[in-house]
Copies of this chain bind each other. A is one copy, B any other.
Amino acid sequence: MTHKVLLLPGDGIGPEIAAQAARLLKACQEAGLDIDVEEGLVGGSAYDVHGEPLPAETLEKAKAASAILLGAVGGPKWDKIEDLSKRPEKGLLGLRKNLGLFGNLRPAMLYPQLASASSLKPELVAGLDIMIVRELTGGIYFGQPRGIEERNGERVGFNTYIYSESEIERIGRVAFEMAQKRGKKLCSVDKANVLEVTILWREVMERLAPEYPDVELSHMYVDNAAMQLVRAPKQFDVVVTGNMFGDILSDAAAMLTGSIGMLPSASLNESGQGMYEPCHGSAPDIAGQNVANPLAMMLSVAMMLRYSLNENAMAERIENAVGSVLDGGLRTADIASKGMQTIGTDAMGDAVLAA
Contact = CB atoms under 8 A, between A and B. Distances in A.
Interface stretch (A16-24, A142-150, A269-277): A142-150
Interface stretch (A226-234, A284-292, A321-329): A226-234
Contact of A227 (B160, B164, B222, B251): B251
A140 B251 contact: no
Contact of A193 (B89, B166, B194): B89
Interface residues of A, number: 62
Interface in A220-252: 222-224, 226-227, 229-232, 244-245, 247-252
Interface string A248-267: 11111011100010000000
Contacts of A119: 120-121, 124, 230-232
Interface string A195-229: 11111110000000000000000000011101101
Given A120-B119, A165-B155, A93 B194 contact: yes
Copies of this subunit = 2
Interface in A128-170: 140-141, 143, 146-148, 151-152, 154-166
Interface of A: 74, 84, 87, 89, 93, 119-121, 124, 140-141, 143, 146-148, 151-152, 154-166, 191, 193-201, 222-224, 226-227, 229-232, 244-245, 247-252, 254-256, 260, 281
Q: Which 4 A-B pairs have the closest CB atoms?
A: A157-B200, A157-B197, A158-B162, A226-B252
